[in-house]
Amino acid sequence: MKDKQKRKKERTWAEAARLVLENYSDAPMTPKQILQVIEAEGLKEMRSGTSPLACLNAMLHSNSRGGEGLFYKLPGRISLFTLKLLLRLVITHGSSVSVTSMLR
């Protein structure tokens, strides 16, 4: 029990968001939707005095810029994120489904 609590406490926003997008969603999500799953599943300990949505949103935006980011923000959409890994898999395997329709 202590190990599970320790992992939850030490988990970063990026790790929690990655878990949500990998395991709980088959489509891109908004930061608000990601936060709802994080809270419902207890994936990260929330501290009083912080704004979880603002922290998550800032992390998603900073980690979606540049080539090394973990997340991908869909162009032309307001704050819809997915994992870059999922996007790479679709492109690498040459699926006949368009990437945009796959991410909806």
Give yes or no for a contact between 70 and 84, defined as CB atoms under 8 angstroms apart: yes
Which residue type is seen at 88? R
Residue 77, pLDDT score: 65
DSSP single-letter state for residue 76? T
Q: How many domains does the chain have?
A: 1
- 104 residues of the chain, pLDDT tens digit each: 555 555 556 899 999 999 999 998 888 999 999 999 999 999 998 887 789 999 999 999 999 987 788 999 988 867 899 998 755 555 554 544 444 444 33
Tell me, what amino acid is at 66?
G
Phi-psi sector, 49: left (phi>0), alpha (psi -120 to 50), beta: left
Q: Which domain holds residue 7?
A: 2-102
